[in-house]
Amino acid sequence: MLELNDINVYYGKIHAVKNISLKIKKGELVALLGANGAGKTTTLRTISGMLRAKSGSIIFDGQDINKIEAHKIVAMGLAHCPEGRQVFSRLSVLENLKIGAFLRKDHKKIEKDLELVYSLFPVLAERKNQSAGTLSGGEQQMLAIGRSLMSNPSLLLFDEPSLGLAPIIIEKIFEVIKELKNEGKTILLVEQNAYNALAIADRGYVLETGNIKLSGEAGDLLANDEVKKAYLGG
Amino acid sequence: MSGTYLLQNLIDGISLGSIYALVAIGFSMTYSILRLINFAHGDILMIGAYSGLFIMVAWQLPLWASLLGAMIFAAFVGMLVERIAYRPLRGSNEEATLITSLAVSIFIENLGIMVLSPQPRGFAIPKFLTKLHTINEITISNMTILIISLAIILMLVLTYFVICTRMGVAMRACSENINAARLMGVNINKVVACAFAVGSGMAAVAGIMLAGQYGRIEPLMGFVPGLKAFIAAVIGGIGSIPGAALGGYVLGLSEILLVALLPAAYSGYRDAFVFIILILVLLFKPAGLLGTLEGRKV
pLDDT in tens, A65-118: 999 999 999 999 999 999 999 999 999 999 999 999 999 999 999 999 999 999
What is the pLDDT, as a whole number, of residue A193? 86
Average pLDDT over residues A128-137: 95
**A38, A199, A183, A68: which is closest to A116 by C-alpha?**
A183
Q: How many CB atoms lie within 10 A of CB A158?
A: 28
B86-90 contacts, C-beta under 8 A, 24 or more apart: B86/B34, B86/B36, B86/B38, B87/B189, B87/B192, B90/B34
Does B246 fall in a domain?
no
Find the CB nearest A74 among B169, B172, B184: B184
Average pLDDT over residues B285-291: 89
Q: In sequence order, what are the residues at sequence separation of 6 or more whose Cβ sits closer than 8 angstroms to the Cβ of residue A7?
A: A17, A19, A20, A21, A43, A46, A53, A55, A56, A57, A58, A66
Whether residue B185 lies within 8 A of chain A, CB to CB, comes out as: yes
Report DSSP state, residue A65.
-
Is B77:B254 a contact under the CB 8 Å cutoff? no
What is the pLDDT, as a whole number, of residue A228? 81
> Dihedral of CA A118/A156/A95/A127: which sign?
positive
- Residue of chain B whose Cα is closest to the Cα of A153: B184
Whether residue A176 lies within 8 A of chain B, CB to CB, comes out as: no
Does B296 fall in a domain?
no
Does A60 fall in a domain?
no
Is the model's pLDDT at A232 over the cut of 80? no
Strand partners, A29: A187
Domain residue limits at B50? 23-226
What is the pLDDT, as a whole number, of residue A233? 64
pLDDT band at A234 (very low <50, low <70, confident <90, very high): low
Is the model's pLDDT at A188 over the cut of 50? yes
pLDDT band at A185 (very low <50, low <70, confident <90, very high): very high
Does A93 fall in a domain?
yes
Does B235 fall in a domain?
no
At A120, which helix (H) or strand (E)? helix A107-120
Size of interface A-B (CB pairs under 8 A): 60
d(CA B48, CA B205): 7
d(CA A139, CA A124): 7
> Dihedral of CA B197/B199/B202/B208: which sign?
negative
Find the CB nearest B179 among A50, A69, A89: A50
Is B138:B8 a contact under the CB 8 Å cutoff? yes
What is the pLDDT, as a whole number, of residue A205? 94
Q: How many CB atoms lie within 10 A of CB B234?
A: 26
Does A38 fall in a domain?
no
Average pLDDT over residues B219-230: 95
d(CA B79, CA B123): 26
What is the b/e burial string over B181-192, where b = at least 16 CB atoms within 10 angstroms of the residue's CB? bbbbbbbbeebb
Q: Give the best residue of B33, B176, B184 to mutate against chain A (max A CB count within 10 A).
A: B184
Strands A211-217 and B121-122: unpaired
Model pLDDT for residues B178-221, shown as the tens digit of each residue: 999 999 999 999 999 999 999 999 999 999 999 999 999 999 99
What is the pLDDT, as a whole number, of residue A90? 93
A79 chain-B contacts, CB cut-off 8 A: 183
d(CA B214, CA B46): 13
CA distance to B260, B285, B288, per residue, from B234 (Å): 24, 11, 6
Q: In sequence order, what are the residues at sequence separation of 6 or more whose Cβ sits closer than 8 angstroms to the Cβ of residue B9?
A: B256, B257, B260, B261
Domain residue limits at A118? 78-152
Average pLDDT over residues B57-64: 90
d(CA A8, CA A18): 5
Q: Is residue A26 helix, strand or coil?
A: coil
Whether residue B287 lies within 8 A of chain A, CB to CB, comes out as: no
Average pLDDT over residues A221-226: 87
Interface ipTM above 0.90: yes
Is the model's pLDDT at B294 over the cut of 70? no
d(CA A182, CA B55): 64
What is the pLDDT, as a whole number, of residue B3? 82
Is the model's pLDDT at A26 over the cut of 60? yes
Q: Which of A186-190, B266-270, B285-289, B291-295 has the highest mean pLDDT?
A: A186-190
What is the pLDDT, as a whole number, of residue B78? 97
Strand partners, B167: none
Is B208:B70 a contact under the CB 8 Å cutoff? yes
Is the model's pLDDT at A138 over the cut of 90? yes
Find the CB nearest A91 among B173, B186, B187: B173
Q: How many CB atoms lie within 10 A of CB A200?
A: 18
- Residue of chain A whose Cα is closest to the Cα of B190: A71
Find the CB nearest A74 among B172, B179, B183: B183
The pair phi, psi for residue B148, each rounded to 5°, is -65, -45
Does A133 fall in a domain?
yes
d(CA A205, CA A34): 8
Average pLDDT over residues B140-151: 95
pLDDT band at A231 (very low <50, low <70, confident <90, very high): confident
Is the model's pLDDT at B137 over the cut of 90? no
Is A160:A190 a contact under the CB 8 Å cutoff? yes
Q: How far is B245 from chain A (nearest CA, A)?
A: 19
What is the pLDDT, as a whole number, of residue B265? 83
The total number of residues written for chain B in this structure: 298
d(CA A224, CA A195): 12
Q: How many CB atoms lie within 10 A of CB B163?
A: 11
Number of domains in chain A: 1
**A127, A165, B183: which is closest to A173 by C-alpha?**
A165
What is the pLDDT, as a whole number, of residue B298? 39
d(CA B100, CA B106): 10
Is the model's pLDDT at B234 over the cut of 90? yes
Residue-averaged pLDDT of chain B = 92
The pair phi, psi for residue A184, each rounded to 5°, is 105, 5
Tell which A residues from 39 to 98 touch B, by Cβ distance under 8 Å. Answer: 48-50, 69-71, 74-75, 79-80, 82, 86-91, 95, 98
Number of domains in chain B: 1
Is the model's pLDDT at B297 over the cut of 70? no
Find the CB nearest A80 among B183, B186, B187: B183
Q: Provide the edge-to-edge strand list for the sheet that holds A14-24.
A: A14-24, A2-11, A55-60, A63-64
Is the model's pLDDT at B296 over the cut of 70? no
